[in-house]
């Protein structure tokens, strides 16, 4: 059920509707918009009778929702969600660049890359502290040491920190140091972790699972929102197919498809989406051209010596050139 308030509804009238929803044993999710407030209803086992709300002061209409997701849709919030972290934004019509190494390997390495990211004008720095690796013998990250290095980078370069939490125990550390929590492809359907980040104060960067349908991806975001955290960025990072010329197949059609359904911003990860250094810039250009709100790009000062995913990382000069190119494309289509 979706309750749409009138444009002139007062805060008190919105609060009355929220109380009425809660009194029925449901959960209310008020979403203020530019011209109106809409209130989503969750935790109802069956259909909700519109008559409960239709005649309440300030209510314009009560609309049954038949879609499997209720909160992430444009039906609830026609305006685009804008994620704000200090003075940095995602989803406001600008082009957000989230860049950095796959993993933090040392302070020297991280600072060299961060300097390039800052020089490019990007506002977000990505770096892995806890790495989910296919092999138990592969480098799995420096843990809290990496988080401390990234906290230094935030202070030195005014870059917002995006890093992955692998589990609920690690999430507490990530919350202590980061500005945005990344949920990786392997954890997209880790429902206990999704519920936990739904109760976090930090925005969530939700990657699409490597074999997830669009609906499954959006329902993962719904898990987070249902717990009360509405600050979500969706990331298309490629899906696994029969193709062998790329690490993953970047589903660029997902960008306009999601934007047609959801108010949440969408980022394209052109690094994981290809797995090949020489493909990153062309696919980054394409991601901007199809309407992505930004890009996630892996950058390394010495890709040949990277401890993880060096084959898909741009060198510093390649990265800075890519940023110039994608900004030019964005300026044309914005």
Please measure the distance between the N-terminal and C-terminal CA atoms of the chain and give it in whole angstroms. Answer: 34
Q: What is the rounded average pLDDT of the residues 276-280?
A: 97
* CA 288 – CA 281 distance, rounded (Å): 11
Q: Can you read off the two tokens belonging to residue 158?
A: 């005014």
Q: pLDDT band at 277, cuts 50/70/90?
A: very high
- CB-based burial label for 148 (10 Å; 0-12, 13-18, 19+): middle
> Residue 243 pLDDT > 80, yes or no?
yes
Global pTM exceeds 0.95: no
For domain 83-333, give the fold.
Answer: TIM Barrel (3.20.20)
Q: Is the dihedral of CA 245, 256, 289, 99 positive or negative?
A: negative
Alpha carbons 321 and 302: distance in angstroms, whole number: 17
72 pLDDT above the threshold of 80: yes
Confidence class for position 26, pLDDT limits 50, 70, 90: very high
Q: Which of 63-67, 82-86, 176-180, 198-202 has the lowest mean pLDDT?
A: 63-67
d(Cα 188, Cα 205) in Å, to the nearest integer? Answer: 10
Q: What is the mean pLDDT of the chain?
A: 95
The whole-number pLDDT of residue 292 equals: 99
For 130, other C-beta atoms within 10 Å of its C-beta total 22
pLDDT at residue 133, rounded to an integer:
81
Average pLDDT over residues 34-61: 88
Binning pLDDT at 50, 70 and 90, where does residue 57 land? very high
Distance CA 325, CA 328 (A): 5
- In the chain, where are the structural domains located? 2-63, 83-333
pLDDT in tens, 86-132: 999 999 999 999 999 999 999 999 999 999 999 999 999 999 999 88
pLDDT of residue 46 exceeding 80 = no
| pLDDT(169) > 80 | yes
Q: What is the pLDDT of residues 215-225, one digit of tens each?
A: 999 999 999 99
- Which pLDDT band, with edges at 50, 70 and 90, does 278 fall under? very high
Tell me: pLDDT of 136 over 90: no
Range in 35-44, 178-187, 234-243 the model is least confident about: 35-44
User: CATH says 2-63 is which class?
Assistant: alpha beta
């Amino acid at each position: 059920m979706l309750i749409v308030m009138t444009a002139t509804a007062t805060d008190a009238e919105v609060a009355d509707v929220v109380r009425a929803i809660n009194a029925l044993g449901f959960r209310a999710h008020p979403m203020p918009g530019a011209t109106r407030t809409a209130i989503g209803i969750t935790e109802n086992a069956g259909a909700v009778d519109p008559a409960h709300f239709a005649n309440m002061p300030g209510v314009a209409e009560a609309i049954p929702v038949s879609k499997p997701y209720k909160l992430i849709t444009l039906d609830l919030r026609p305006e685009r969600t804008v994620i704000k972290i200090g003075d940095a934004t995602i989803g406001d019509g600008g082009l957000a660049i989230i860049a950095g190494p796959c993993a933090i390997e040392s302070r020297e390495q991280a600072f060299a890359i961060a300097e390039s990211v800052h020089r490019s004008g990007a506002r977000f720095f990505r770096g892995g502290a806890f790495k989910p690796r296919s092999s138990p013998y592969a480098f799995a990250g420096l843990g809290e040491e990496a988080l401390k290095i990234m906290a230094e980078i935030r202070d030195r370069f005014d870059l917002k920190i995006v890093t992955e939490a692998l589990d609920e125990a690690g999430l507490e550390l990530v919350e202590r140091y980061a500005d945005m929590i990344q949920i990786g492809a392997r954890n997209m359907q880790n429902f206990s972790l999704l519920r936990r980040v739904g109760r976090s104060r930090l925005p969530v960067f939700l990657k699409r699972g490597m074999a997830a349908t669009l609906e499954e991806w959006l329902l993962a975001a719904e898990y987070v929102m249902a717990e009360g955290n509405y600050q979500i960025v969706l990331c298309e990072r490629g899906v696994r197919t029969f193709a062998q010329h790329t690490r993953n197949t970047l589903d660029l059609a997902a960008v306009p498809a999601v934007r047609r359904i959801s108010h949440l911003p969408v980022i394209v990860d052109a690094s994981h989406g290809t797995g090949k250094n020489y493909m990153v810039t062309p696919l980054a250009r394409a991601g901007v051209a199809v309407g992505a709100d930004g890009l996630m790009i892996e950058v390394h000062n010495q890709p040949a010596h990277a401890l993880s995913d060096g084959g898909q990382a741009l060198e510093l000069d390649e990265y800075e050139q890519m940023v110039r190119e994608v900004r030019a494309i964005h300026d044309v289509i914005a």
